[in-house]
């Protein structure tokens, strides 16, 4: 299947051709800061399957707890958080699922994995059936 996404203003569009993807919530404080939300919902896709089809995202590098770079891609026009590429996961692109089009933001209604649950805000419960990881 091809999943597509875009930013709020439409200047940036992307797509990924995937058989399936891993759905993950991340509760880390960097994700909270970057998005202004309590967590990020993500579709992890093979980096080779991912391409930007319109526009050029801006980037911001953050040094993660691993000491490696987490590159954040966003739209400089409207500020939408789009995706990240982590040095520690060189084969994956981490799409911020809120940008996905045509209802794909719901990630099929199923979360495979939750990361940094130690930072999860107390008003949220664990997603049913999702593997729980304290940190990365
Ligand atoms: Zn935009
Ligand atoms: Zn995170």
Per-residue pLDDT of the chain in tens (136 residues, 90 and over written 9): 999 999 999 999 999 999 999 999 999 999 999 999 999 999 999 999 999 999 999 999 999 888 999 999 999 999 999 999 999 999 999 999 999 999 999 999 999 999 999 999 999 999 999 999 998 8
State in Å: Cα 36 to ligand 2 middle: 12
Q: Where are the domains of the chain?
A: 2-132
State in Å: Cα 24 to ligand 2 middle: 10
62 touches 10 (CB < 8 A): no
The CATH number of the structural domain formed by 2-132 is 2.170.150.70
Closest CA to 48 of 11, 85, 100: 85
Alpha-carbon Rg for the chain in angstroms? 14
CA atoms within 13 A on the CB side of 61: 5
Structure confidence at residue 23 (pLDDT) = 98
Tell me the pTM.
0.96
Spell out a b/e string for 39-60, using b for 16 or more CB atoms within 10 Å of the CB, else e.
Answer: bbbbbbbeeebbeeeebebeee
């Amino acid at each position: 299947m091809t999943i597509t996404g875009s930013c709020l203003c439409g200047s940036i569009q992307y797509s990924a051709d995937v058989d399936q993807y891993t759905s993950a919530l991340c509760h880390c404080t960097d994700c909270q800061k970057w998005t202004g939300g309590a967590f990020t919902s993500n579709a992890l896709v093979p980096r080779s399957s991912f391409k930007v089809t319109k526009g050029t995202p801006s980037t911001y590098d953050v040094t993660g707890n691993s000491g490696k770079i987490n590159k954040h891609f966003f739209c400089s026009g409207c500020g939408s958080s789009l995706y990240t590429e982590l040095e520690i996961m060189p084969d994956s692109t981490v799409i911020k699922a809120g940008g996905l089009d045509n209802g794909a933001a719901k990630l099929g209604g199923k979360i495979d994995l939750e990361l940094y649950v130690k930072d999860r805000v107390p008003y949220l419960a664990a997603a049913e059936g999702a593997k729980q990881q304290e940190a990365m």
